[in-house]
Amino acid sequence: MAENVSTTRDRFLTAATELMRRQGYAATSVKQLTAAAGAPIGSLYHHFPEGKQQVAAAALRTSGAVYIQLLPLLMDPYDDLREAIPAAFAAAAEDLERSGWMNMCPVGTVAGEIADSEPALREVAAEVITSWIDQGTAYFVRRGLSPEVARELLIAMLSALEGAFILSRTLRSATPLHAAGRALAAHVDSMTGRGSAGKTPEPGADVGERTR
Amino acid sequence: MAENVSTTRDRFLTAATELMRRQGYAATSVKQLTAAAGAPIGSLYHHFPEGKQQVAAAALRTSGAVYIQLLPLLMDPYDDLREAIPAAFAAAAEDLERSGWMNMCPVGTVAGEIADSEPALREVAAEVITSWIDQGTAYFVRRGLSPEVARELLIAMLSALEGAFILSRTLRSATPLHAAGRALAAHVDSMTGRGSAGKTPEPGADVGERTR
């Protein structure tokens, strides 16, 4: 029984994540959540007494925690961060294109949608993004950067990634993700004291094909 | 009479822009649009026979056309793009903080919200973003960059700006916009063949106070 209860709760989280990825927070109704989870509305309010906003908050926390795990997965194979970052952006571009330009993670888009209108949910999104910044900074420190440089780079990278996802999904083009990844490689050089002239891939160079 | 008709249409556009900035597309109802515009529902369908989506599309086009005008306004005062870009990001951060972290422009956030769920509106957002890329590239060419480098830089800059807006609004912090602006200064150096060591502002340096 305890297992079933847990499974039903998880189904609501998965349903909320999927629906918010595809259509955002406001468009997602309690009716859609119960239909997608295959569970009655009483069950939703049993697990989430505050309703839709509470399911959404839990879904953002859960998917946010999974999403940041991609950072080491995508970057560990590269010895040098100035190669790792554009390669990770190129991998994201490839996944995005292969998926038919699907939204990968609801956190950034839902945050953009609700930051002015849903204060409680904005705080949850801020919590998730702060944890991304902390975990990502720790990863870059393990990769040899100073804490200050690591945090600066991580925040610039996360900004570029969230914005490039929106541009790439909207334009149906991998170009923004590739351009954003190349820009960050130059930033790594500048912050690690390496001159960048002649090292940055030329505009239009396909980092994806080059590194994968 | 023709003047009144035009005014009513404009009021619907302003209402749609304001509502979408604050709460996104899905949360914006026809009822809210007519209330905010101070016009009856019949008037909305007179000007926009296809209803809410058509008002939203026209509002995205109109506010998008205004928004790109900020690029020369913010950057013309600086002789060097490697100063102009972080200064423009710092000015955006200052405006954002002063506004109480209000969304500045609905295009990016609405695009992120609807790219998977509203194909017609996604195409309008793509049209607006493509026009930003074209106009911004032309501006950077006037500032002395080659067309290829100008386009690469503009796309990276737009990605960083849209993502940093989301992070800054969510975290209630100017840091993402400052970090994104500094990262792009390094990219300008790398693409214009200038070494960047020692020229990039240190992490934590307040570009806003330095340049304004």
Unique residue bearing structure tokens 């906003």:
A53
A175 in reach of chain B (CB within 8 A)? yes
Tokens of B66: 């205004």
Q: Domain B68-211 - what CATH class?
A: mainly alpha
- The Cα A112–Cα A98 span in angstroms is 25
Position A200 confidence tier, pLDDT thresholds 50, 70, 90: very low
Least Cα separation, residue A5 to chain B (angstroms): 31
A131 in reach of chain B (CB within 8 A)? no
B82 in reach of chain A (CB within 8 A)? no
Give per-residue burial for A26-60: e unless 16+ CB within 10 Å, then b: bbbeeebbbebbebeeebbeebbeeebebbbbbbb
Q: Residue ranges per domain, chain B?
A: 2-58, 68-211
- The Cα A129–Cα A135 span in angstroms is 10
CATH 1.10.10.60 at A2-56, yes or no: yes
B167 in reach of chain A (CB within 8 A)? yes
Does residue A207 register a pLDDT over 70? Answer: no
> Of the CATH numbers 2.60.120.460, 1.10.10.60, 3.40.50.1000, 1.25.40.80, which one belongs to the domain with range B2-58?
1.10.10.60
The answer to whether the predicted template modeling score (pTM) of the entire model surpasses 0.95 is no
Unique residue bearing structure tokens 């990001």:
B89
Residue A25, SS3? coil
pLDDT tens digits for range B49-67: 999 999 999 999 999 999 9
Fold matches, A2-56 and A68-211: no
Residue A146 vs residues A137, A143, A160, B82: alpha-carbon distances, Å: 9, 9, 21, 24
pLDDT given at position A205: 44
Of A101, A163, A172, the CB nearest to B162: A163
- The Cα A76–Cα B77 span in angstroms is 42
Helices (H), chain A: 2-23, 30-37, 41-47, 52-67, 70-75, 81-98, 106-114, 119-142, 147-171, 175-191, 207-211
Residue B211, SS3? helix
Nearest CA in chain B to A166: B112
Nearest CA in chain A to B100: A116
Which of A123, A159, A168, A202 is most worth mutating to test chain B (most B CB atoms within 10 A of its CB)? A159
Spell out which residues of chain B touch residue A167, defining contact as CB-CB under 8 Å: 129, 155, 158-159, 162
B21 in reach of chain A (CB within 8 A)? yes
Tell me whether residues B197 and A204 touch, CB distance under 8 A: no
pLDDT tens digits for range A33-64: 999 999 999 999 999 999 999 999 999 999 99
- The Cα A163–Cα A168 span in angstroms is 9
Does residue A211 register a pLDDT over 70? Answer: no
Tell me whether residues A196 and B200 touch, CB distance under 8 A: no
